[in-house]
């Protein structure tokens, strides 16, 4: 039994894992950490955004991914924003509104952007839905996963509920005779469908593009701030008929040229970076956590974490000497029990509580040596005086131990009691 315990103790001094095993664990942990950083940086990983909505990343007929790609091909600095803070950008902000939108929220956005940066607002038109799987099986041509089916055009009927400065009235107009031409900004052409949204009362707006009947399809407004003040040059462009700039409309070169001209009009002719907002279409998100970690005030904590990781990795493979051998966590025997108890008392710093128990223990041992029936201090003093007349009596030594406060005084007084016991044992 003792031999087996000794072998177990010897094995404790070595490593439990080989170097290859430790290296494999470290590499696995590193790859898991890199994967976590990727998903943190990627943000929304829920897959396809094809929900039928018209936004800058939608590839359906009602989407605006074509406009984004066209602007990039023209050399423009184009980006999409999924953060509410993007609504405060000084760049050209393009807002593609969904069908059901809070009018008051749009008014607040436009008022806050007064004197901040140029804005283009594209109003909604189409109710669209993704192609169901059974439809894909019926058609002969392949249908991409992010294509949509234009179900119907819905009239934009809440323009008059906008703030007074931007209030307009619109209607859905069906030109059955095919007279669906447009003209404006030095360009002209036709619309892709006979069903269009036109403005019947433009209010404070100025017409940019009109149809063959002179009804506005795109307007510009001078920006009005929350105090009712308007700037001299600042304006916001409203695209009433989204087929002028969406993927459906960009199939025609003249409409593609008009889309670029409307962007230039909204930018006042300056070379602004262009930001397409996605938050109004339900794709808003929090700030990228990975990017946030490398920005003040979190940058200092990130650098400390990286340094700590490097130190831990270096320490794992550069041990300072061999592993220290240790015995079992709970050793056997009275000696080990006493040592553990003494170590606990020392850590608790309660040595003064040992005085009375040690005096009582010494009294019992001396009474047994002297042949006394009871460990009485006076009787022990009389017996010690007869045997060792020149030594200090037991009661004096016991009182010194009880009065000691510091660890050194306690140990000195305890040794004095122990010395008396050893002399009587000789």
Q: What is the 3-state secondary structure (H, E, C) of 60-106?
A: CCCCCHHHHHHHHHCCCCEEEECCHHHHHCCCEEEEECCCCCCHHHH
The more confident residue out of 326 and 300 is 300
Is the pTM higher than 0.85? The answer reads no
Residue 23 pLDDT exceeds 80: no
Q: What is the pLDDT of residue 233?
A: 53
Q: What is the pLDDT of residue 10?
A: 47
Q: What is the pLDDT averaged over residues 116-144?
A: 75
Tens digits of per-residue pLDDT, 139-174? Answer: 656 677 777 878 888 877 766 667 777 888 888 888
Residue 123 pLDDT exceeds 60: yes
Residue 342 pLDDT exceeds 90: no
Tens digits of per-residue pLDDT, 251-283? Answer: 999 999 999 999 999 988 788 899 999 988 877
3-state DSSP call for residue 354? helix
Tens digits of per-residue pLDDT, 182-209? Answer: 999 999 999 988 888 888 888 888 999 9
Across 86-95, 290-299, 328-337, least confident range: 328-337
Residue 69 pLDDT exceeds 80: yes
Q: How far apart are CA 19 and CA 388, in angstroms?
A: 67
Q: How far apart are CA 261 and CA 186, in angstroms?
A: 9
Interior angle at CA 87, CA 81 and CA 89, nearest 5 = 85
Pinpoint the alpha helices (H) of 288-371: 289-293, 298-317, 334-348, 355-370
Q: What is the pLDDT of residue 47?
A: 46
What is the distance, to the nearest Å, from the Cα of residue 202 to the centroid of all Cα atoms in its chain?
A: 45
Residue 5 pLDDT exceeds 70: no
Q: What is the pLDDT averaged over residues 71-83?
A: 91
Q: What is the pLDDT of residue 12?
A: 46
Sign of CA dihedral 162, 164, 169, 170: negative
pLDDT band at 2 (very low <50, low <70, confident <90, very high): very low
Q: Most confidently modeled of 17-26, 63-72, 79-88, 413-422?
A: 63-72
Q: What is the pLDDT of residue 3?
A: 39
Sign of CA dihedral 127, 132, 137, 138: negative
Q: What is the pLDDT averaged over residues 70-76?
A: 93
Q: How far apart are CA 47 and CA 377, in angstroms?
A: 88
pLDDT band at 244 (very low <50, low <70, confident <90, very high): very high
Which string of b and e fits 395-404 if b means at least 16 CB within 10 Å? eebbebbeeb
């Amino acid at each position: 039994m003792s031999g087996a315990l000794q072998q177990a103790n010897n094995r404790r001094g070595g490593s439990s894992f080989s170097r290859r095993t430790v290296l494999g664990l470290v590499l696995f942990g590193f790859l898991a950490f890199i994967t976590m950083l990727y998903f943190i940086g990627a943000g929304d990983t829920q897959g396809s955004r094809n929900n039928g909505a018209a936004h800058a990343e939608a590839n359906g007929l009602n989407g605006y991914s074509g406009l984004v790609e066209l602007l990039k091909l023209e050399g423009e600095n184009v980006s999409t924003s999924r953060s509410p803070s993007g609504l405060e950008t000084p760049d050209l902000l393009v807002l593609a509104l969904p069908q059901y939108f809070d009018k008051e929220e749009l008014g607040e956005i436009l008022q806050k952007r007064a004197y901040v940066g140029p804005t283009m607002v594209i109003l909604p038109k189409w109710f669209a839905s993704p192609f169901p799987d059974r439809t894909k099986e019926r058609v002969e041509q392949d249908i991409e996963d992010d294509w949509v089916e234009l179900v119907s055009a819905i009239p934009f009927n809440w323009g008059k509920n906008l703030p007074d400065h931007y209030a307009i009235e619109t209607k859905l107009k069906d030109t059955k005779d095919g007279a669906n031409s447009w003209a404006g900004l030095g360009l002209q052409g036709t619309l892709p469908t006979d069903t269009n949204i036109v403005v019947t009362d433009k209010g404070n707006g100025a017409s940019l593009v009109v149809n063959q009947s002179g009804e506005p399809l795109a307007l510009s407004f001078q920006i009005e701030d929350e105090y009712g003040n308007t700037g001299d040059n600042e304006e916001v462009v409203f695209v009433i008929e989204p087929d002028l700039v969406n993927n459906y409309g960009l199939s025609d070169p003249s409409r593609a040229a008009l889309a670029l001209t409307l962007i230039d009009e909204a930018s006042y002719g300056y070379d602004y970076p262009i930001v397409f907002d996605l938050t109004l279409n339900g794709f808003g998100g929090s700030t990228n956590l990975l990017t946030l970690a490398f920005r003040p005030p979190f940058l200092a904590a990130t650098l400390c974490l990286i340094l700590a990781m490097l130190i831990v990795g270096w320490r794992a493979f550069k041990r300072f000497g061999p592993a220290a051998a240790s015995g079992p966590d709970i050793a056997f025997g009275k000696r080990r029990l006493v040592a553990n108890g003494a170590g606990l008392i020392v850590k608790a710093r309660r040595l003064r509580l040992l005085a009375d128990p040690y005096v009582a223990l010494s009294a019992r041992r001396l009474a047994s040596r002297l042949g006394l029936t009871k460990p009485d201090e006076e009787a022990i003093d009389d017996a010690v005086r007869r045997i060792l007349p020149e030594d200090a009596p037991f009661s004096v030594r016991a009182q010194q131990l009880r009065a000691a406060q510091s660890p050194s005084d306690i140990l000195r007084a305890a040794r004095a009691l122990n010395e008396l016991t050893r002399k009587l044992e000789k």
